[in-house]
Chains A and B, each alone.
Chain A
Amino acid sequence: EPEVTQTPSHQVTQMGQEVILRCVPISNHLYFYWYRQILGQKVEFLVSFYNNEISEKSEIFDDQFSVERPDGSNFTLKIRSTKLEDSAMYFCASKAGGGTEAFFGQGTRLTVV
């Protein structure tokens, strides 16, 4: 069964450093998303991406965040200067189109120290 793949599974970074979280969505999917979940809290929407541009972003997704689909298969989330409060599980999701369900990856646990 096709799946969304995220790498790395766990990343530790120092405060102020840049990190790039990587995702390989399911191959025929057109809509891509990033969500995050701070330990013990809800899953929160960050950003949606379609047709090579951001279609919606939350208040969390400020200028420190960016997304890119560089090569037609990968979908990346970059945090330019990490803060302690960026520590969370980050989930990538993709879906084929209207009325279909979203498939989530297993997440990257980001720890900022």
Chain B
Amino acid sequence: DAKTTQPPSMDCAEGRAANLPCNHSTISGNEYVYWYRQIHSQGPQYIIHGLKNNETNEMASLIITEDRKSSTLILPHATLRDTAVYYCIVRVAGDSNEKLTFGTGTRLTIIP
């Protein structure tokens, strides 16, 4: 059963910031928030993950609310190549073997 809730689809203008929300109200203290994306049936691609602090890397930023019940993935300057399905996944920290459980994700369309 999905532990996260995401909107099924979103549009964003090219060059603007894309903000993708995720609710994970039942997250446990030892669970991380992971984001992956899947571009047109290619293999899922890791984007970023975090526990409770905001995180930034070369692809995106992750903002996690103080109560950790929701988060937002930010693509700061969206390009057409960012059109993909984005998955928000919670998983236990330190469980080396734990599988990823994918939901239906958010289909993000970048509009020229």
Contacts and interface: CB of A to CB of B under 8 A. Distances in A.
Given A43-B44, A102-B46, A106-B42, A56 B99 contact: yes
Chain B, interface size category, equals: 20 to 34
Interface in A65-113: 89, 91, 93, 97-99, 101-107
A42 B102 contact: yes
Interface in A12-69: 31, 33, 35, 37, 42-45, 48, 50, 55-56
Q: How would you classify the secondary structure of chain B's contact residues: helix, strand, loop or mixed? A: loop
Contacts of A91: 43-44
Interface string B12-31: 00000000000000000000
Contacts, number: 54
Q: How would you classify the secondary structure of chain A's contact residues: helix, strand, loop or mixed? A: strand
B41 A89 contact: yes
Interface of B: 34, 38, 41-46, 49, 87, 93-97, 99-104
21 contacts: A31-B96, A31-B97, A37-B41, A43-B102, A45-B100, A48-B97, A48-B99, A50-B97, A55-B97, A91-B43, A93-B44, A98-B96, A99-B93, A99-B94, A101-B34, A101-B49, A104-B44, A104-B45, A105-B43, A106-B42, A107-B43
Interface of A: 4, 31, 33, 35, 37, 42-45, 48, 50, 55-56, 89, 91, 93, 97-99, 101-107
